[in-house]
Amino acid sequence: MVSPDILARATALRREIERHNHAYYVLDAPTVPDAEYDRLFRELQALETAHPELDTPDSPTRRVGGRALDGFAPVRHAVPMLSIRTETDTTAAGAAAFDTRVRKELGLAEDDAPVEYAAELKFDGLAINLRYEAGVLVQAATRGDGETGEDVTQNVRTVHRIPLRLALDAPPEVLEVRGEVYMRRDDFERYNAKQREAGKPALVNPRNGAAGSIRQLDPKLAAQRPLSFFAYGLGEVRGWAAQPATHYATLDALRDMGMPVSDERRICHGATALVAFHDDVQARRDSLPFDIDGVVYKVNRFDRQRELGFVTREPRWAVAHKYPAQEEMTTVEAIGVQVGRTGALTPVARLAPVFVGGVTVTNATLHNQDEIDRKDVRVGDTVIVRRAGDVIPEVVAVVAERRPQPEPPRFSILESYPACPECGSHVVRLEGEAVARCTGGLYCPAQRKQALLHFAGRRAMDIEGLGDKLVDQLVDRGLVHSPADVYGLDAATLAGLERMAEKSAANLVAAIEASRAATLARFIFALGIRNVGETTAKDLARHFGGLDALIAADEADLLTVRDVGPIVAESIRQFFAEPHNLDVVRRLREAGVTWPETAGMQQSAGKLAGRTFVLTGTLPTLTRELAKERIEAAGGKVAGSVSKKTDYVVAGAEAGSKLEKAQALGVALLDEAGLLALLESGASPENNKPAEQGNLDF
């Protein structure tokens, strides 16, 4: 006699499983991840096994899937599309357990030859039966309940990978090919990106995308979805005289007919080979271009399959060996943020611990405010979390039907975090950007290493030797908190760091000292202002002439600078509005970082305005880049080749063909001293008017 509690639990399980079946197969709106569904299904199976009187004809355990949609004509399968048993042990030991069962059923002794298996992937899509008559596709049907499916011929015809005619001169009278319609990950991402751009709903995951596409009542909508297909077996077969004797050879034959067949399959002899296949695929699972949730082992020979037969609804000769689930269900306990190296505030869901993808997950990324709004994630929600390999876990979707009542408020990063949790600087979200950012770029601890590396870069302050590993040590040991602290480092301190001998320490101190003499453009670029690149930094330096003028500029002033638009202007304004950043700039100037300043283009067109220069050879003290910056800061233009329009060629040691061409055209020649004099006065020095090469002191 079954207790009332067990009867009530079985009844509740049947109702919940049927509700999930309806949501997934009929509404194309999954409410739980596969792993949660599988747990419910196995619990009901266990109850019915322990209490046979609970087993009823309408139990979901008697079914293979959902029922046919009312919008599609029913199709009675000539050969039932039965599912195969799932191995619940997700470790490699599950493969060995299957081999043990098969050998026992076949009555094989320990010293008998190993069983030959066909091992393949378990695709994560929608099972389809393709019926070919005389080689022509006449019907396509879903699995349905295993006995009766849905006629989806018109939709399947839109899947270009499925041949409309088999490549055979004498095709069988009837050949039913069974396989999986699926969606590649890259196709899925591209499709969703287009949907979001158009303001339309995105697909939940590739599997749901494939199922929903095939069940579109309008084939034109199905044709818009990027679907693929792999064949993995047969249904009814009539008149195939040369039908192979093994499963693996059958897949080869289907491939030769023009049918898509995955290359990720193998013939395995015995348990050891099955285990090796399982481990190999698991190691490469995340690099596959499509989703799988496990592998499948089948006894390869058809005669042995017939000998093994079936038990209830499952064949004894095959098993689906799943991997740890990559999607699970849990609840959002809180929403916090992480501040990245560039100042981006990434929202993070703090989760009730859940085992997914082989590890226990307590945090999952929410990406940015747009994604939070699109998925409508709120504290207290039940959510589906996905983790694949080493990819950061993410919240895929909210299970809206489980949302607490009354509804929790929506989450806003700017409302919850008006100030950076790391440094207290203002948090802003600029127009056109998806992320919110901390404005304390030179001060924020989370951005410290990135700010230092950028500041020391070759095109910024050019502090050679201040690289990643050294910056890690300086920051981690608390020796440097901002770029200004770099100028307080001495050789003794540096020599005490790992991989820093006295000579390398002395070289770095010398590089730091040399960087004190910069240009305004380099300094502006080194500050790491959001959206201000090297070219924009030069334009700002040329326009304002001095740092104080730039700091004092309002948005209207900034918009008068060449190529500076509203977004760049707002980034500059936000940066200099932050007291922490101004304090670091002040300390850098106090540390002796200097640069030549001019009146700027607001008051002056520049001493060298309208003049074109060409640089060639090696100058005694100025690098090519620094000479170019000095000329551009004074309003001049630096070209790459000599022409009649060139005003000056600045020649150094080992000057080549550019010098020769300048002499031939009669272009004025300058050495470094002449260039510096020109930069100082704006007038050509007498000894550097057009001259022969020999007049230059190299």
Residues whose CB falls within 8 Å of the CB of residue 109, separated by 6 or more in sequence, listed in order: none
User: What is the tally of helices (H) and strands (E) in the chain?
Assistant: 25, 24
Helix (H, G, I), strand (E, B) or coil at 533: coil
Could you count the other beta carbons within 10 Å of the beta carbon of residue 2?
Answer: 14
Could you count the other beta carbons within 10 Å of the beta carbon of residue 197?
Answer: 8
Q: Is 361 exposed, middle or buried (0-12, 13-18, 19+ CB in 10 A)?
A: buried
Which DSSP helix (H) or strand (E) runs through 649? strand 648-651
In eight-state DSSP terms, residue 446 is G
User: Both tokens of residue 103?
Assistant: 């050998």
DSSP 303-355: HHHHHH-EETTEETTEEEEEPPPSEEEEEEEEEEEEE-TTSEEEEEEEEEEEE
Q: Among 104, 122, 298, 469, which one carries the catalytic annotation?
A: 122
Task: Indicate the residue type of 349.
Answer: A
Task: Indicate the residue type of 15.
Answer: R
User: Both tokens of residue 337?
Assistant: 């943020």
C-alpha torsion angle, residues 30, 292, 125, 130 (rounded to 10): -160
Helix (H, G, I), strand (E, B) or coil at 485: helix
333: phi > 0 → left, psi -120 to 50 → alpha, else beta; which?
alpha
Helix (H, G, I), strand (E, B) or coil at 481: coil
The beta strands (E) that lie in 166-291 are given as 174-182, 228-238, 266-269
Please give, one letter per residue, the 3-state secondary structure of 86-132. Answer: EECCCCCHHHHHHHHHHHHHHCCCCCCCCCEEEEEEEECCEEEEEEE
User: Both tokens of residue 82?
Assistant: 């039965």
Please give, one letter per residue, the 3-state secondary structure of 401-438. Answer: HHCCCCCCCCCCHHHHCCECCCCCCEEECCCCCCCEEE
Report whether 481 contacts 448 (CB < 8 A).
Answer: yes
Q: Is 469 in the active site?
A: no
User: Both tokens of residue 89?
Assistant: 């042990």
Of 452, 451, 476, nearest to 466 by C-alpha is 452
User: Both tokens of residue 357?
Assistant: 């993808």
Residue whose tokens read 């194309």? 28
* Residues paired with residue 348 on neighbouring β-strands, in sequence order: 336, 365
Question: What residues act catalytically?
Answer: 122
